């Protein structure tokens, strides 16, 4: 469990970084009325991938605990 904590701490930072990059690309596209370029789509894909990976890391960390709770609840 302790091995995953540094990864868990790094995951939101990477998701936040990609989210900021994508928000900046949207901001410049809308306010500067320019055509979207390939970087806008890359930031969208990277931001979505970072969020998806973060959710799955959380699931992997919490799943054993949830299974244990379910077993204890079923035993009662």
28's CB contacts (< 8 A; 6+ apart) are: 34
**Which SS3 state, helix, strand or coil, does residue 33 take?**
coil
Q: What is the pLDDT of residues 34-56, one digit of tens each?
A: 677 787 777 777 777 777 777 77
Mean pLDDT of 3-27: 67
What pLDDT, on the 0 to 100 scale, is given for residue 54?
72
pTM, rounded to two decimals: 0.44
What pLDDT, on the 0 to 100 scale, is given for residue 8?
57
- Domain limits at 25? 4-75
What pLDDT, on the 0 to 100 scale, is given for residue 38?
80
What pLDDT, on the 0 to 100 scale, is given for residue 51?
72
| The total number of structural domains that make up the chain | 1
43's CB contacts (< 8 A; 6+ apart) are: 18, 21, 22, 24, 25
């Amino acid at each position: 469990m302790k091995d995953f904590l540094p990864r868990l701490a790094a995951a939101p930072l990477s998701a936040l970084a990609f989210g900021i990059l994508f928000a900046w690309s949207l901001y410049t596209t809308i306010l500067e009325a320019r055509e979207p370029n390939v970087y806008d789509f890359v930031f969208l894909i990277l931001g979505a991938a970072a969020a998806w990976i973060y959710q799955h890391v959380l699931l992997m960390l919490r799943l054993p605990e949830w299974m244990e709770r379910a077993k204890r609840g079923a035993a009662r």
